[in-house]
Amino acid sequence: MAHFTKATSIHDWLNQRLAVDSVKKVLATEYWIPKNINFLWAMGMILAVTFGLLLISGIFLMMYYKPDTAFAFDSVNYTIMSQVGYGWLWRHIHAVAASVIFLIIYIHMFTGIYYGSYKKGREMIWISGMLLFVTFSGEAFSGYMLPWGQMSYWAGTVITDIFSLGSLNLDGLVQWIRGGYVPGDAFLNRFYMLHVLLLPLAVIALIVFHFATLRLPHVNNQDGEDINFKEESDKYLSGNTKSSKVIRFQFDFLSKDIVIVGFFMIFFFYLVFYHFEFAMDPVNFDPANGLKTPTHIYPEWYFLWTYEILRPFPKNPGLLAFGFAQVIFIFLPFLDRSPNVAPANRRGIFKIWFWVLIVTMVILTVLGKLPPEGIYTTYGTVVASFFILLWLSLPIVTKLEKPIGSKK
Amino acid sequence: MAVKKERRNFLGLALGGFTTLGGIAALGAAKRTWDPLPSVMAAGFSVIDLSVTKPNVLYVAKWRGKPIFILKKTPDMEKNPREVIVGDSRYLICIGICTHLGCIPSYFPKQHKFICACHGGQYDSNGEVTKLPPPLPLYIPPFKIDGQKVIIGESSPEFQKLKAAGLTA
């Protein structure tokens, strides 16, 4: 048994039992971050804060929401919105945060792609991040079902229908997922369970895992420089903080982070109070009706690009293309055959590949919102095919890239 | 030492084996829990009494959350292999969902046609497409004739014949 002495303070009492000083060192004060970074390195913290907002607002919404097809719509649109004190605030925070978190996720992802932060030991950071993206997508979809409006119902119908896998006609599987022939009470209840328990648990576990994957390789820096963290942190601890290339996580990096988080909060609450409507589709203010399809069905903005990859093709090729788009990002560390860890603008042809990918996804997003008629279907087919070709070309593009000497 | 290790391996395998069995059984239970409930399955059949139908008046019934169109034909409507004959009456029985993008068409009795408001598709009184964009005629659900009643959701030789002839998907 360990030797315990009479504690001299509460801190000492805790320290003898929980080693709080060592834990703090390992997790915060001696966790090292490069100095050579910019505001894009704060996106992780913004995501953590936004997830916190979703969790807190969600807890309050849960107290009045009723997962029953007869009461769900009114519990949201009547009870929470006009009866519960400040119910509207939680709902608007929840809806805006759910939408904005995807904006930040995309920025976070494309920062990683731009600076090559997914290779040379950082593969697991990328993979765990993509698993988080998938789980968050599940959170977004299951949450979208809960107000039980027309868009909830029909999005639920269309998305669960995907599991019939085209000509395989797996209707039994679709009915199993729905717990009925069409989305109904069992469907709403199970998606409620997924949304408030199982998926958030998975998200929290994956966030912890995502942090753990950062531990050994550390975060990347603006030049993709291979920093000797042992050497640089020793330099810092010996008092030579100026010439060291690294800073402490707490509070050096955190104090930089919090400034960016502050700017984000201003933007976020501006949306919550003055422009929450962008996160609320007007069609979803009609109660779910299985006998009346909305004339034009489309997902939230962050899923439009994948939707546009599913939609313009005939059924089976469309599903294959959709499946491809869903999983291809996770393989990025292995599709990039270049040894360079550097920002895209120093990587020759990869720079073009990167910006073309962004433009392609923006075009797909715009097309996904337009009705699937006439010339738009043709544009959609061309751009969606181009997206697939772009990813297939990545190993060749990166193979052709010249190795650049490690900088500085 | 070697003997002890073997015993440990055996214990590990036994524990792992029984845990796997229990896990598989639990998965089976979990799967069953997600199955549609018996009450939901029972609603998978709709019985419609045809004796109350009048010629050229559209009846809409509900089956598995979808609208079912029943149209008793007038003598001047031409014969069609898709129609269902009950006694001496001829009927159109179909799922009332446009095969284009899932909207619900409306019936115009004077023109004897269905028009879909969403993208302008039209069907005749046999459910066949007369104006694009719908890719296919209106689907015929599995049905069974029982006297003056029709059971939607249960297959029958008549339905199988229609299906075999490629008259419905």
How is A206-260 classified by DSSP, letter by letter? HHHHHHHHHHTT----TT-----HHHHHHHHHTT-TTT-SEEEIIIIIHHHHHHH
Q: Do domains A27-291 and A298-408 have the same CATH topology?
A: no
What chain A residue is nearest to B119 in terms of C-alpha separation? A295
Q: What is the mean pLDDT of residues B145-151?
A: 83
For A272-327, write each residue's pLDDT tens digit. Answer: 999 999 999 999 999 998 877 787 778 899 999 999 998 888 778 888 999 999 99
Q: Token pair 């993206």 is at which residue?
A: A133
The predicted pLDDT at position B29 comes to 94
pLDDT of residue A406 exceeding 70: no
Of A200, A205, A257, A218, nearest in space to A46 by CA: A257
Contacts of B104 in chain A (CB under 8 A): 291-293
The predicted pLDDT at position B101 comes to 63
Within an 8 Å CB–CB cutoff, is residue A167 touching chain B? no
Of B99, B40, B83, nearest in space to B65 by CA: B40
- Decide which of A97 and B164 is more confident: A97
Alpha-carbon span A284 to A73, nearest angstrom: 10
The predicted pLDDT at position A266 comes to 97
What's phi and psi for A85, nearest 5 deg?
-60, 125
Q: What is the CATH number of domain A27-291?
A: 1.20.810.10
Alpha-carbon span A286 to A31, nearest angstrom: 51
CATH label, A298-408, candidates 2.60.40, 1.10.3210, 3.10.450, 1.10.287: 1.10.287
The predicted pLDDT at position A230 comes to 95
> Could you tell me whether strands B106-108 and B113-115 are parallel, antiparallel, or unpaired per DSSP bridges?
antiparallel
Question: Mean of the per-residue pLDDT values for chain B?
Answer: 83
> Could you tell me whether strands B89-95 and B46-49 are parallel, antiparallel, or unpaired per DSSP bridges?
unpaired
Residue A199 pLDDT grade (very low, low, confident, very high; cuts 50, 70, 90): very high
pLDDT of residue A349 exceeding 70: yes
Contacts of B40 in chain A (CB under 8 A): 179-181, 184, 186
Alpha-carbon span A14 to A9, nearest angstrom: 9
Measured in angstroms, the CA of A295 and the nearest CA of chain B are apart by: 6
Residue A37 pLDDT grade (very low, low, confident, very high; cuts 50, 70, 90): very high
Within an 8 Å CB–CB cutoff, is residue A190 touching chain B? yes
For B49-88, write each residue's pLDDT tens digit. Answer: 887 888 888 888 888 878 889 888 887 777 777 788 787 7
Residue B3 pLDDT grade (very low, low, confident, very high; cuts 50, 70, 90): low
ipTM for the complex? 0.76
Measured in angstroms, the CA of A81 and the nearest CA of chain B are apart by: 29
Where in chain A are the domains?
A: 27-291, 298-408
Active-site choice (B8, B119, B131, B161): B119
Alpha-carbon separation of residue A356 from A115, A321, A352, B95 (angstroms): 16, 19, 6, 45
The predicted pLDDT at position B134 comes to 74
Residue among A181, A190, A293 whose CB faces B103 most closely: A293
What chain B residue is nearest to A311 in terms of C-alpha separation? B101
Alpha-carbon span B122 to B116, nearest angstrom: 6
For A212-244, write each residue's pLDDT tens digit. Answer: 999 999 999 999 999 999 999 999 999 999 999
Task: Work out the percent of chain A whose per-residue pLDDT is above 70.
Answer: 98
Q: Is B112 a catalytic residue?
A: no
Within an 8 Å CB–CB cutoff, is residue B57 touching chain A? no
Measured in angstroms, the CA of B87 and the nearest CA of chain A are apart by: 30
Alpha-carbon separation of residue A368 from A97, A165, A166, A358, A380 (angstroms): 22, 21, 20, 15, 8
Residue among B36, B62, B97 whose CB faces A179 most closely: B36
Residue A384 pLDDT grade (very low, low, confident, very high; cuts 50, 70, 90): very high
With a CB cutoff of 8 Å and minimum separation 6, the contacts of A381 are A312, A313
Within an 8 Å CB–CB cutoff, is residue B67 touching chain A? yes
How is residue A288 annotated by DSSP? P
- Decide which of A46 and B169 is more confident: A46
The predicted pLDDT at position B66 comes to 83
CA dihedral B4, B10, B14, B16 (to 10 degrees): 90
Q: What is the CATH number of domain B42-164?
A: 2.102.10.10
pLDDT of residue A407 exceeding 60: no
3-state helix, strand, coil in chain B (%, to 5): 30, 30, 45
pLDDT of residue A202 exceeding 90: yes
Of A101, A46, A37, nearest in space to A261 by CA: A46
Of B158, B26, B15, B151, nearest in space to B82 by CA: B158
